[in-house]
Amino acid sequence: MVKSPFALGEWEKTSDKSKANVTRIVLASYDFVIDQIKKLFDVQLDEPVKMLGSFNMSKRIALAKAFEHQAHHRGQTTVYLRLAGIKPPQEKLF
């Protein structure tokens, strides 16, 4: 298991809430996770993992649920941006 270079909750406590810093944090987080996923073999994706302390599932399912969760928040953010009169950025689907 690779330890994240970022402490849990570290970035939520940052005093720099600028768009540039939030963008940097989000992109660094995504880059770290994507890099770790690329290193997994198919057989590893079928290994069990415990999520949130009580849910057992394969790593494959956990990644699918993480993607689903991210998409949910993307949708919420899109609504907030539109309500504020801001056009959301284009998605990069493929």
pLDDT digits (tens, 9 = 90+) for 61-79: 999 999 999 899 989 999 9
Strand partners, 55: 51
Cα 37 to Cα 28, 41, 50, 55, 63: the distances in Å are 14, 9, 17, 20, 9
Residue 94 has pLDDT above 70, yes or no: no
pLDDT of residue 82: 95
**Residue 67 vs residue 11, higher pLDDT:** 67
Domain ranges of the chain: 16-83
Contacts of 51 (CB under 8 A, 6+ apart): 57, 62, 65
pTM given for the model: 0.74
